[in-house]
């Protein structure tokens, strides 16, 4: 009998210890009976991340940097040291179902020449994250994206090429670009195309790597039948510096892959378009910060905790003695008038995702880990 492939899970962390603790709780269940290693590269968080992991997550290999290396450099350090046949890049603000890692491995066993793979990501409100699948960003695609025209033709193969509009979110299909929040690939393919481009500090490096892997293989695959939760933004602060990093990344990608195809006039127009988008992004960031400061979220007086573990239920009630807590393991018993729902991270994550997607925007969703005694909310 052939030996099952091993997997290395690489997580880059920066000032998000609470989020990471929940994520690792879900990940550990998914790694059961699998030859694995988990590497966390902490980018000088200064919140005790490295020390906490070393004390409470001894099964995790921690690489503590004394400076913020950015996403590319931090991942590359771990990739150079990892031993897995399959490498999985995973954001610290994700939650994965128990079957997740096994299904990732199964894909590479049945598709040995596959490029990278990505999955369907659902945000903390139950909405589909469009960046789960993306197309190659050429000049035409960028124009439709920056002008917002794609929103009027969301299923168009041409006008919404940026988000691969002709591929349904629940479909399995070849797509060029995947998200670095959850991307898996074989060690063999990584050795063929090279490491992440360290010219990107954050943002854009996943687009660059995806494209190289797509071109060097049978193509990247988006697996819309495989779901995870991504608390988007909880591992990346909303800050103008990060807006600048995003648009710098877009310029770097354009210079690397698009500028050589066109003349100086076209390239100047592309550069101007990116600069205009950067200005609009800054304005949006400022307005959102103002909105956040003006909005005072009312603390709920009741919460529904969904778990099939009696010990976890008791612990949750004790932790939230100032709230009215409704306990259940059955999604059909959830009271619609109770706006805050907390899922047990040790229970069925696929069931939680299905409920969130069916009731998107209707409740506030959180996750609780009894071993870590922490609640993840956005």
**pLDDT tens, 239-265?**
555 555 565 666 666 666 665 666 666
pLDDT of residue 1: 40
The answer for residues whose C-beta is within 8 angstroms of residue 278's C-beta and 6 or more apart is: 243, 244, 247
Mean pLDDT of the chain: 88
Q: What is the mean pLDDT of the segment spanning 301-308?
A: 92
pLDDT of residue 267: 60
pTM of the full structure: 0.88
In the three-class reduction of DSSP (H, G, I as helix; E, B as strand; rest coil), residue 43 is classed as: strand
**In the beta sheet, which residues pair with residue 324?**
302
pLDDT of residue 4: 86
In the three-class reduction of DSSP (H, G, I as helix; E, B as strand; rest coil), residue 225 is classed as: strand
Q: pLDDT over 90 for what percent of the chain?
A: 65
Q: Which of 327, 329, 340 is nearest to 378 (CA)?
A: 340
pLDDT band at 337 (very low <50, low <70, confident <90, very high): confident
Q: Which of 271, 358, 343 is nearest to 307 (CA)?
A: 343
Q: How far apart are CA 202 and CA 198, in angstroms?
A: 9
If you search the block for the tokens 């929040």, which residue do you land on? 181
Q: How far apart are CA 117 and CA 209, in angstroms?
A: 12
| Measured CA distances, 216 to 189, 206, 340 (Å) | 8, 15, 46
pLDDT of residue 165: 96
* pLDDT top residue among 267 and 336: 336
Lowest mean pLDDT among 16-20, 66-70, 136-140: 136-140
The answer for residues whose C-beta is within 8 angstroms of residue 321's C-beta and 6 or more apart is: none
Instruction: Kindly report the three-state secondary structure assignment for every residue of 176-215.
Output: CECCCCEEEEEHHHHHHHCCCCCCCCCCCHHHHHHHHHHH
Q: Is the pLDDT of residue 149 over 50?
A: yes
pLDDT band at 200 (very low <50, low <70, confident <90, very high): confident
Lowest mean pLDDT among 63-67, 217-221, 298-302, 308-312: 298-302
Q: Is the pLDDT of residue 143 over 90?
A: no
pLDDT of residue 228: 98
Look at strands 221-230 and 172-174 and give their pairing.
antiparallel
pLDDT of residue 266: 62
pLDDT band at 237 (very low <50, low <70, confident <90, very high): low
Lowest mean pLDDT among 73-77, 200-204, 237-241: 237-241
Q: For 7-133+169-230, give the CATH class.
A: alpha beta
* pLDDT top residue among 193 and 233: 193
Overall size of the chain counted in residues: 378
Q: How far apart are CA 199 and CA 233, in angstroms?
A: 22
pLDDT of residue 62: 97
Which two tokens mark 74? 């931090």
pLDDT of residue 336: 79
């Amino acid at each position: 009998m052939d030996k099952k492939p091993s997997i290395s899970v690489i997580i880059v962390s920066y000032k998000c210890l609470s989020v990471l603790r929940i994520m690792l709780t879900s990940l550990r269940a998914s790694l059961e009976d699998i030859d694995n290693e988990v590497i966390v590269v902490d980018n000088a968080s200064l919140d005790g991340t490295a020390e906490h992991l070393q004390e409470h997550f001894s099964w995790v290999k921690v690489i503590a940097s004394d400076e913020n290396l950015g996403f590319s450099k931090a991942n590359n350090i771990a990739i150079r040291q990892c031993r897995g046949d399959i490498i999985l890049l995973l954001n610290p603000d994700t939650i994965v179902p128990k079957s997740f890692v096994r299904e990732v491995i199964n894909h590479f066993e049945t598709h040995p020449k596959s490029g990278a793979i990505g999955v369907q990501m659902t945000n903390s409100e139950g909405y589909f994250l469009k960046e789960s699948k993306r197309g190659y960003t050429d000049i035409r695609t960028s124009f439709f994206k920056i002008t917002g025209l794609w929103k009027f033709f969301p299923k168009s193969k041409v006008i919404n090429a940026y988000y691969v509009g002709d591929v349904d979110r629940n479909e399995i299909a070849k797509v060029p670009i995947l998200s670095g929040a959850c991307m898996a690939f074989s060690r063999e393919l990584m050795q063929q195309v090279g490491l992440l481009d360290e010219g990107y500090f954050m943002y854009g490096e996943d687009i660059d790597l995806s494209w190289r892997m797509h071109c060097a293989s049978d193509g990247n695959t988006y697996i819309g039948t495989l779901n995870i939760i991504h608390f988007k933004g909880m591992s990346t602060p909303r800050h103008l510096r990060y807006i600048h990093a995003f648009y710098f990344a877009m310029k770097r990608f354009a210079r690397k892959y698009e500028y050589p195809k066109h003349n100086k006039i076209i390239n100047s127009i592309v550069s101007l378009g990116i600069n205009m988008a950067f200005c609009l992004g800054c304005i949006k960031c400022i307005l959102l910060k103002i909105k956040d400061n003006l909005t005072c979220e009312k603390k709920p007086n009741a919460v529904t905790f969904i778990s099939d573990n009696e010990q976890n239920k008791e612990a949750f009630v004790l932790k939230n003695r100032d709230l009215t807590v409704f306990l259940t393991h059955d999604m059909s018993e959830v009271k619609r008038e109770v706006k805050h729902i907390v899922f047990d991270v040790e229970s069925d994550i696929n069931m939680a995702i299905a409920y969130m997607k069916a009731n998107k925007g209707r409740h506030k969703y959180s996750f609780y880990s009894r071993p870590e005694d922490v609640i993840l909310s956005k």
